[in-house]
């Protein structure tokens, strides 16, 4: 993807220069303008070109974020929130320059209310750090997108991950937000009540907005009790189709599976080689069950029976924590495992999501597409939700190969949309999938533009993301 393919954002050079002078005087060493750090804050793990901000500032409170935004609003300078940079569609690029707000220093747990099963955190805390803090309370935060992302970034991209089939996504687990709006006003979207019918649901307006409507500075999260017992394992299948059929049967039977992940044969090969797994090289499901000792045993045995009906198995499962940790580390290392399949290649990860009844059809068509076009692209998916990822491995220096990859991603997006699915189940739109959002939602994108214009009339909040400024 070339710069010419991206949404153009006019650079306000005079306003940026003035704002930088004011902000440097105010924040001193906490504002950095070195080329290396600026490029790091526009880092993108796709082939989208790096578009660095003019400066990076490290705020430490909601009040400081509001102050920065007010200065930027006065001079019409873009503001791009930044967590740890794990987003995959150019979310943190600065096409019109401006200020990157690195939320690293806003990483505190403000409060834990164990009796109410909730907590209040700042956006810069990572999911692993939060769960480490919660460990002694007997509670945990279940959303696990794989990467050790920040909670603020996870909310901004409406992240989900391996546990979503049981615990839902960020949309389901964020109760309230504190947000700095485009004019520097600070708003709180809800209270701590478990449900409310009071006005518009502003919390969910900002979840998934990718920083285009405001900067999240505090989050109230739902927590869950750490299960008494956990069982998990791996089950091979003769084909992707039979594995998907077993997934559908498992969900239809009401088995409360916590995680159910699919890897195709090529991805399993990479995982076996990279993580030294002793499993067959075939399409496989990774599963986990949460509950009581008796419950997780019963659930594992029931799934084993389902797998057998579809020609899968044996289902090798365990309640041993160390063995399960090794299993899920292998799953979380799938990106690195895929890279081992073509050393020296660049990895480009893309995702789609379809109704689970169309999942086998979509994955099979995608595997054929990959093979027919001479690409290398192992597949892994959160298949309990119908969501799967393709990790394309390509020579980024070969224009023909890059062109073939872009064409494949376009076909994959349109294939999912044609099946009444979505062009992204959890990566977000950013810069990379803007054209497909309009094809997926049509005139609904005009409503989004109206909301953006109303809340950010000068287009300073992460501009050039999610939707083109005008309909094409």
401 within a domain of the structure (yes/no):
yes
The b/e string for 306-332 (b: 16+ C-beta within 10 A; e otherwise) is bbeebebbebbbbbeeeebeebbebbb
Give the model confidence (pLDDT) of 284-296 as tens digits.
999 999 999 999 9
Pair 462, 81: CB distance under 8 Å: yes
CATH number of the domain that residue 115 is part of: 3.30.465.10
User: What is the C-alpha to C-alpha distance for residues 221 and 337, in angstroms, rounded to an integer?
Assistant: 32
Q: Are residues 96 and 21 in the same domain?
A: yes
Q: Extract the tokens encoding 461.
A: 């909040």
- Which tokens go with 217? 């500075």
| pLDDT tens figures, 248-278 | 999 999 999 999 999 999 999 999 999 988 8
User: Measured at the alpha carbon of residue 68, what is the angle toward residues 66 and 71, in degrees to the nearest 5?
Assistant: 105
Q: Are residues 82 and 16 in the same domain?
A: yes
pLDDT score, position 4 = 63
Residue 290 lies in a domain: yes
At which of 306, 332, 358 does a domain end? Answer: 332
Full 3-state SS string of 328-370: HHHHHCHHHHHHCCCCCCEEEEEEEECCHHHHHHHHHHHHHHH
Query: Does the pLDDT value for residue 388 go beyond 90?
Result: yes
The answer to whether residue 471 is domain-embedded is: no
Q: pLDDT category, 3, cuts 50, 70, 90?
A: low
CATH number at residue 323: 3.30.70.2190
Phi, psi for 208 (deg, rounded to 5): 95, 0
Q: Looking at the structure, tell me whether residues 83 and 114 fall in a common domain.
A: no
Into how many domains does the chain fold? 4
Give tens-digit pLDDT for 327-386: 888 888 888 899 999 998 988 899 999 999 999 999 999 999 999 999 999 999 988 889
Q: Which tokens in the block code for residue 205? A: 């307006």
SS3 of 226, please?
Answer: coil
Q: Coil, strand, or helix at residue 327?
A: helix
pLDDT at 322 over 90: no
* Rounded mean pLDDT, 29-46: 90
Distance CA 58, CA 103 (A): 6
174 CB-near residues (< 8 Å, 6+ apart): 155, 203, 207, 219, 220, 221, 222
% of the chain surpassing 90 pLDDT: 82
Query: What DSSP state is assigned to residue 208?
Result: T
Do residues 322 and 365 both lie within one domain? no
Please calculate the CA angle 102-106-108 and round it to the nearest 5 degrees: 150
Q: Mean pLDDT for the chain? A: 94
What is the model's pLDDT at position 321? 86
In which residue are the tokens 């740890």 written? 84
Inform me whether the pLDDT recorded for 247 exceeds 60. yes
Which of the two residues, 153 and 45, has the higher pLDDT score?
Answer: 153
pLDDT confidence bin for 47, thresholds 50/70/90: confident
pLDDT of amino acid 76: 98
Q: Is residue 457 part of a domain?
A: no
| Average pLDDT over every residue of 127-133 | 97
Least confident of 71-75, 321-325, 422-426: 321-325
pLDDT digits (tens, 9 = 90+) for 143-155: 998 889 999 999 9
Is the bond preceding residue 331 a cis peptide, omega within 30 degrees?
A: no
**In the chain, what percentage of residues exceed pLDDT 70?**
98
Q: Cβ distance 57 to 41 under 8 Å? A: no
Of 206, 225, 201, which Cα lies nearest the Cα of 216? 206
Q: How far is CA 139 from the centre of its chain?
A: 23
Q: How far is 11 from 78, CA to CA, in rounded Å?
A: 9
With vertex at residue 285, the alpha carbon angle to CA 281 and CA 289, rounded to the nearest 5 degrees, is 140
Q: What is the pLDDT of residue 1?
A: 66
Q: Which domain holds residue 407?
A: 342-429
DSSP-derived letter for residue 8 is P
Among residues 209, 225, 241, the one where a domain terminates is 225
Instruction: Count Cα atoms within 13 angstroms, Cβ side, for 266.
Output: 21
pLDDT for position 187:
98
> Does residue 300 sit in the same domain as residue 328?
yes
Sign of the C-alpha dihedral, residues 204, 436, 86, 57?
negative
Residues 366 and 318 in one domain: no
**pLDDT given at position 44:** 66
Of 60, 87, 104, the residue that ends a domain is: 104
**Residue-wise over 52-81: b if at least 16 C-beta within 10 A, else e?**
bbbbbbbbbebebbbbbbebbbebbbbbbb
User: What is the CB neighbour count within 10 angstroms for residue 261?
Assistant: 23
Q: In this structure, are 298 and 267 located in the same domain?
A: yes
Query: Which whole number is the average pLDDT over 455-470?
Result: 93
What pLDDT does 471 receive?
62
**Adjacent-strand bridge partners of 118:** 113, 222
The residue to which tokens 């990076």 are assigned:
56
Tell me what pLDDT residue 323 has.
86
Rounded distance, CA 20 to CA 32, Å? 10
Tell me what pLDDT residue 65 has.
Answer: 98
Question: Does one domain contain both 137 and 196?
Answer: yes
CA–CA separation, 136 and 149 (whole Å): 22
């Amino acid at each position: 993807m070339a710069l010419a393919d991206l949404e153009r954002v006019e650079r306000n050079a005079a306003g940026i220069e003035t704002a930088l002078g004011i902000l440097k005087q105010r924040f001193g060493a906490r504002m950095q303008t070195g080329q290396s750090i600026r490029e790091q804050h526009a880092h993108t793990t796709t082939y989208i070109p790096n578009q660095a901000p003019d400066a990076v500032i490290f705020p430490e409170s909601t009040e400081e974020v509001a102050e920065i935004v007010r200065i930027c609003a006065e001079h019409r300078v873009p503001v791009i929130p930044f967590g740890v940079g794990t987003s995959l569609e150019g979310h943190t690029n600065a096409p019109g320059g401006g200020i990157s707000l690195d939320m690293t220093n806003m990483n505190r747990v403000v409060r834990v209310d164990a009796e109410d099963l909730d907590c209040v955190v700042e956006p810069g805390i990572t999911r692993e750090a939060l769960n480490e803090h919660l460990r002694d309370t007997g509670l945990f935060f279940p959303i696990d997108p794989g990467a050790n992302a920040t909670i603020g970034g996870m909310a901004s991209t409406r992240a989900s991950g391996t546990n979503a089939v049981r615990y839902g996504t960020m949309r389901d687990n964020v109760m309230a937000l504190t947000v700095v709006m485009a004019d520097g006003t600070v708003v709180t979207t809800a209270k701590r009540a478990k449900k409310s019918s009071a006005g518009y649901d502003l919390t969910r307006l900002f979840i998934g907005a990718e920083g285009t409507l405001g900067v999240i500075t505090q989050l109230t999260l739902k927590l869950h009790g750490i299960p008494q017992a956990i069982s998990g394992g791996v089950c091979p299948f003769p084909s992707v189709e039979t594995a998907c059929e077993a997934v559908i049967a498992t969900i239809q039977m009401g088995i409360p599976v916590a995680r159910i992940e699919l890897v195709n044969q090529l991805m399993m090969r990479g995982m076996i080689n990279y993580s030294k797994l002793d499993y067959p090289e075939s399409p496989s499901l990774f599963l986990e069950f949460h509950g009581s000792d008796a419950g997780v045993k019963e659930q594992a045995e029931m799934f084993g029976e389902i797998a057998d009906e579809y020609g899968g198995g044996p289902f090798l499962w365990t309640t041993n924590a160390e063995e399960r940790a090794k299993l899920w580390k292998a799953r979380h290392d799938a990106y690195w495992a895929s890279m081992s399949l073509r050393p020296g290649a660049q990895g480009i990860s893309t995702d789609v999501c379809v109704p689970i009844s169309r999942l086998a059809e979509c994955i099979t068509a995608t595997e054929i597409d990959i093979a027919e076009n001479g690409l290398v692209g192992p597949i892994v998916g959160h298949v309990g939700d119908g969501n799967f990822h393709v990790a394309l491995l390509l020579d980024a220096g070969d224009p023909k190969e890059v062109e073939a990859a872009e064409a494949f991603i376009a076909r994959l997006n349109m294939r999912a949309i044609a099946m009444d699915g979505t062009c992204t189940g959890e990566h977000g739109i950013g810069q990379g999938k803007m054209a497909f959002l309009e094809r997926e939602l049509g005139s609904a994108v005009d409503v989004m533009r109206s909301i953006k214009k109303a809340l950010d009339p000068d287009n300073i909040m992460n501009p050039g993301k999610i939707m083109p400024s005008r309909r094409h």
